[in-house]
Amino acid sequence: MSGQLENRTLTAEWLRQNHELYTAATNHSFIKSIRDGTIDVNNFKHWMEQDYHFVRELVRFVASVLQKVPRNAPEHDLDVILGGLTALESEITWFRKEANFWQIFLERVTLLQPNKDYCEFLKELEREDTPYAAAVTAFWLIELVYCASFMSCLEEDAKTPYELVSTVKRWGSPEFHQYTLSLKKLADKALENASDAEQKQAQKIFVRILELELKFWDMAGFVLG
């Protein structure tokens, strides 16, 4: 799809309409503190503890997206979602390894309210009454927020601390960006084929995800108060 046509997709339109919220979710002070090297290590550990448990719930949600891929969709579509699940498996393994390094005890973590709210929302999305178009759009956006956020920490003038480079590369790498573009294509195609009611449902979910991502970052900065 050419750049111009791509701008006319529903996902591009919703990103434009929610520009302020999207920018708040992808330029959060938590991310900025990684980017400028001022991050408090306790905040980083705090985020990691919470995110590990979020990702475990995300796996269940993505499994539900996989189930909703239409049987008549090209093989590639199923492969992209399956690749997403595989990426989450490696994300979980990575969290466990990093937790070891940072001396974090993942099994002792108490989930905080913003994380609980987000996980509850994912459970709602897992239900059968969330159509594929809305579910795959949600999945794309969840991955995009992390990609756009962490990409900024790899820019030339970024002062990301050495110990955090593997973290920011996980979501900010060109490969991860490419993967979010593949998800975006699936979302746009599904939305094109969706009914008006389904599109409206997807649009509401889109906004809710941005709000929840923003609150998740706020929670990550909680330790410093």
Ligand X SMILES: Cc1ncc(CN)c(N)n1
Nearer to ligand X, 51 or 126 (CB): 51
Closest CB to ligand X among residues 14, 171: 171
For the bound state, the minimum distance from the C-beta of residue 190 to ligand X, rounded and expressed in Å, comes to: 20
Annotated ligand binding at 40? The verdict is no
Which of the 8 DSSP states describes residue 166? H
38 contact partners, CB below 8 Å, separation of at least 6: none
Residue 213 is a catalytic residue? yes
- CB closer to ligand X out of 12 and 55: 55
Minimum distance from residue 4 beta carbon to ligand X (Å): 29
CB of 197 to ligand X, least distance (A): 27
Q: What whole-number distance in Å separates Cα of residue 148 and Cα of residue 159?
A: 17
Query: Is the Cβ of residue 54 or residue 140 nearer to ligand X in the bound state?
Result: 54
**Triad 35, 38, 43: Cα angle to 5°:** 95
Tokens of 79: 């492969």
Q: Which of 192, 135, 177, 140 is nearest to 10 (CA)?
A: 192
Does 128 appear as a known binding residue? no
Q: Is 51 a known ligand-binding residue?
A: yes
Select which of 57, 98, 126, 213 is catalytic.
213
Nearest distance, CB of residue 8 and ligand X, angstroms: 27
Q: Which residues bind ligand X (CB under 6 A)?
A: 51, 54-55, 58, 142-143, 145-146, 213, 216
Residue nearest to ligand X (CB): 146
Decide whether 188 or 213 has the Cβ nearer to ligand X.
Answer: 213
Least Å from the CB of residue 173 to ligand X: 13
Binding residues for substrate: 51, 91, 143
Catalytic residues: 213
Q: Which residues are annotated as a binding site?
A: 51, 91, 143
